[in-house]
Chain A
Amino acid sequence: MTAKNQRLVLALLAVAAIVAAALLALSALKDQAAFFYAPSDVKRDGVPVGRAVRLGGMVEKGSVARAEDGVTVRFTVTDGQATTPVTFAGIVPDLFREGSGVVAEGSFRPDGAFVATNLLAKHDEKYMPPELAKTSAGTMHETKSLTK
């Protein structure tokens, strides 16, 4: 083996080790690096009442209701396994709608409901023109990352 081949092997081993380290770190940080908790995470692990967290999932179809005061919105966030009731007082993002992804920033109340101080709409990876969306309306928002 010439010195050049040794260096080549060494460099390729270094790259393989770096990529493997990255993939290990990715899977190890799966829970810590999560941007939000899904309702089933909350159900399984529990989140202390009052701690500022993010809750993410799909806005359950037919769950959005406006309170009499006109600014408070109530809806249910689901990930297909568990659901969490959410209340939010304020302006919802344009892309906030039933059956679509949402990330709510806020905290849990003692009764298990989530009080959001800010809502973010989560877009999925599907892009389509309006006429196409009408034909496949049933499944278009079902993203892998939000429904487990």
Chain B
Amino acid sequence: MTRLVDFSPWPLRHVHANVAFPAPCHISTFTVPALHAFANPARFLRIAKPLTPVLTWLGIALVAIGSWVGLTLTPPDYLQGDTVRIMYIHVPTAWLGMGGWSGIAISSIAFLVWRHPLAAIAARAIAAPGATFAALCLVTGSIWGRPTWGTWWQWDGRLTSMLLLFFVYVSYLALARADAEREGDGRIPAIFGIAGTILLPIIRYSVVWWNTLHQGPSIGLTKSTIAGAILWPLPIVLTGATLFFAGVVLMRMRTLLARAKAEARLRRMARA
């Protein structure tokens, strides 16, 4: 039972030092063998290397096509006029700003449960693009709000909770970096990554449960209140932005892995 709260760090030296420690997951008792195959850093790098340019360039191409279509082919809105076109950037950035944090939360859980360093690296890699997309969401929303609402910014529930998510991203970046620099075990950023999830339902339901200046959700699981003629480029940019985001995350994961490798080598050289 003592192991219930035993969040021992992953590094292998602990495994060697403590025989009672459960065997590393990839050696024996992993419950999801199919997923486990990707948790091996060497195998991950073999797959990630060719996948990075494919995802990134395919994403950029789809965003370019979707934006072009959204700027030229779709009709303006009956009330907002051409301002509605900001949606083709605003919605994907909002989606990925929140989706990014879901990724951090899932990776953090995976790290705390299976203690695999690749999960912690994934969480760290998501934070910077996630923060960037959250910031882009706030900026494009502000540009849309000025002509539509008549204000750049108001402290309503949706706008404020999204701004908080941006700040939480920035805090996470600082925390994860500090933890890595002090050779921490990554548990504190992981717990922060799970705790930050509290903002996701707040952002999602702020416009449903509270009076807000921001309108309610336009796109549900089954239907949308956006006319088809305006809506159809949105899935294109949404897919493109998601692929691009994934490409950037893979790029950053490879960078973090390379840095860890270089630092380990430097440490070995310093000792010798």
- A residues within 8 Å of B by Cβ? 2-4, 6-8, 10-12, 14-15, 18-19, 21-23, 25-27, 29-30, 33-38, 56, 93-95, 100, 103, 119-134, 140, 143-145
Contact = CB atoms under 8 A, between A and B. Distances in A.
Given A119-B150, A125-B216, A19 B6 contact: no
Contacts of A14: 194
B6 to A, nearest CB: 7
A115 B208 CA distance: 28
A120 B3 CA distance: 56
Given A2-B29, A4-B114, A128-B78, A18 B195 contact: yes
A22 B114 CA distance: 27
Contacts of A128: 77-78, 226-227, 229-230
Contacts of B210: 26, 29-30, 33-35
Contacts of A26: 201-202, 205-206, 209-210
17 contacts: A3-B3, A7-B4, A7-B7, A15-B105, A19-B200, A22-B202, A30-B209, A36-B213, A56-B211, A95-B149, A120-B213, A121-B149, A122-B149, A123-B79, A127-B225, A131-B75, A132-B227
A100 B75 CA distance: 21
B201 to A, nearest CB: 5
Given A8-B113, A11-B109, A95 B211 contact: no
Interface in B51-88: 75-80, 84, 87
A95 B80 contact: yes
Interface string B169-213: 000000000000000000000000011011111100111011111
B139 interface: no
Interface residues of B, number: 56
Contact of A127 (B77, B147, B212): B77
A71 B151 CA distance: 20
State the main secondary structure of chain A at its contact with B. Answer: mixed
Contacts of B78: 128-130, 132-134, 140
A121 B227 contact: no
B3 A129 contact: no
Nearest to B21: A3
A11 B194 contact: yes
A27 B209 contact: yes
A119 B75 CA distance: 28
B227 A127 contact: yes
A117 to B, nearest CB: 13
A25 B78 CA distance: 37
| Leading 8 A-B pairs by shortest Cβ distance | A133-B78, A93-B150, A129-B75, A3-B3, A128-B227, A34-B211, A35-B156, A127-B226
B148 interface: yes
Contacts of B211: 34-38, 56, 145
A114 B206 CA distance: 26
B25 interface: yes
Nearest to A36: B211
Given A3-B6, A35-B156, A130 B76 contact: yes
B215 interface: yes
B217 interface: yes
A125 B225 contact: yes
